[in-house]
Chain A
């Protein structure tokens, strides 16, 4: 049985200017110890998918319209708040993009690190302090003893992200959701943080959902990658397969627009047009208006996500028919 299985998740935002279908029918499963990458452009619904699981979607305006998310036998979307609290923050932890705004500037690092332990585990303050300090050392913070009682503003961006990771890992979660954890960081610091996530994952044997817009970051870290577009999954496959034989036109286009993979100075491949407005109902395939292989039926039929090879599913009618 998978650790987490999400079926038909739909999260809509009801605003004055219309209903935004941020996540519109997402299915996926995650095994224990697996690393899943979710890749997509801004507005593709990759973050909202995970926020829905963590109960972080502001309601209203957000509403989870349908779906289940079963984590180890418990449906996170329909369980009691009490049950949910026992799982979120303990067995599932999350780290966010911006370490500058996701730590509380009024509280010492020590207080923030110990909080999950004091809430979720029957543990003395002294013991909590010992474990928090050990955790801080294991995420590679130099001089952890002195830094333990400092405030967030005394840390640099990379160090704050380390503190965030320590906070997330302190309860030894089975699933870590990382929402663009390195986007705000420099490449050299990004490399440090990616290594750290890899190392701790091996040590704790936890599963990771890694949200990113950077295909390159996903390629190095993830076992499996799923690509999202306009609130739906358009392709999912093992990392190797997804990069070697992408089938969906959007995945191909995304890959072709990375400068690193193209000859120097050549005209970069671009995807024409803009992502669709998810506040309007989309007929047919959401990518059809920008797709270079578009056929008449793409504009009317919604392509289902079908498995084309073991572990490789994609949602393009023409690719499924073997036409492209």
Chain B
């Protein structure tokens, strides 16, 4: 397998809670990300899935250090980003960029496309000022936009085009890793397919590593090499994308897979759906033992006691369930 490029070791991101008005005192914490260990290899697309509130976006932001880590380390290029000085962090972000979900909110409405794409080039001084217009035009062509739109503002573009601008901005510094947080969720199906093709093609051409976050499993299966399933701040299953989604082992992954509606009416009529009851529990006060035990159809007494570790569940696969072999 290719060399590891980004390593997360026991990453924890907790948001402290306070109570009281005049005398604030700590009252627990929201454990948004709670002990994630993960390795991203060069040129790999890693899908990250889970319901809202499972901590996938927080994890993305933690990797970029947009939110400080509470514990653990984020290692990249021999540095631990969680313990970097701001200056080192700035340098590290040349190799590590992000694309956000909402292309309407992630572009500054007062900057033209040229300004938005030239900004990272200025900040990191990657090319002489005279070369910037040429580089911006090249970036726009890379993502399939005509350079003649360079002086236009974000509001003059459609959602899909804006997402292309956001991707171009992330590519400006030729990073090694891109973290894309639900980059296609806000787009229509036909536009979604265009952006997915673009991302897949860029990864191949530039040997980029991509962390692709989505809640749509069929999209993740299509684009990813490996997929990690998160539940309440922890990874519950990790493995090759097709394997995990076609033959899920963890009860949560099974329920998640069975909940995806199929676009084939015949399949849809026959299938047995595992409908989970209720909502995910609160990360402020997570259940004891396995966090999924409150909704799990296979729950047993010991699930409420033991926190399940990630154990091997097939070739290159791990899952966190103590009853893996029984169910």
Contact = CB atoms under 8 A, between A and B. Distances in A.
A194 B256 CA distance: 15
B197 A255 contact: no
A219 B261 contact: yes
Contacts of A190: 259, 261
Interface in A228-255: 239-240, 243, 253-255
A259 B262 contact: no
B5 interface: no
B260 A187 contact: yes
B264 A259 contact: no
Interface string B234-270: 0000000110000000000001101111111110110
Interface stretch (A2-10, A65-73, A108-116, A267-275): A267-275
B221 interface: yes
B56 to A, nearest CB: 12
B193 A257 contact: yes
Contacts of B215: 186-187
Interface residues of A, number: 43
Chain B interface, >50% SS class: helix
Given A158-B279, A189-B279, A216 B222 contact: no
A176 interface: no
A272 B196 CA distance: 14
Given A188-B256, A220-B265, A254 B222 contact: no
B285 interface: no
Interface string B213-228: 0011111011100000
A191 interface: yes
Given A41-B188, A158-B279, A216 B261 contact: yes
Contacts of B261: 190-191, 194, 214, 216-217, 219-220
A104 interface: no
B294 to A, nearest CB: 12
B188 A213 contact: yes
Interface in B174-202: 188-190, 192-194, 196-197, 200
A142 B273 contact: no
Given A142-B278, A259-B219, A262-B222, A270 B273 contact: no
A290 to B, nearest CB: 9
Contact of B268 (A219, A264, A267, A274): A219
Nearest to B217: A187
> Closest 10 interchain pairs by CB?
A260-B218, A259-B222, A191-B259, A220-B268, A268-B193, A216-B261, A216-B263, A257-B193, A186-B51, A271-B190
Interface of B: 51-52, 158, 160, 188-190, 192-194, 196-197, 200, 215-219, 221-223, 241-242, 255-256, 258-266, 268-269, 273, 275-279
